[in-house]
Amino acid sequence: LVDQLAEGGRIVIPVGDEFSQILVKGIKKDGILKIQTLEPVRFVKLVGAYGFKE
């Protein structure tokens, strides 16, 4: 993904296991991804008509 990111591009991803993650922001500058840790988060699967099939 880093190779596909344009110079000055940003990526925000949750990093961690199934139960707890940290939200991480990366900005590509001079070909290097600079990482900033934002805050704890938890990814919750979307369920229902438009969500994941259980």
Instruction: Give bridge partners of residue 14 from the DSSP assignment.
Output: 23
Rounded CA separation 36/53 (Å):
33
pTM equals 0.70
Helical H segments across the chain, by residue range: none
Give residue limits of the domains in the chain.
Answer: 10-41
* pLDDT digits (tens), the chain, 54 positions: 788 999 999 999 999 998 899 999 999 999 999 999 999 998 887 888 888 776
Q: Tokens at residue 52, please?
A: 């994941």
What is the per-residue pLDDT for 50?
81
H-run or E-run covering 23: strand 21-29
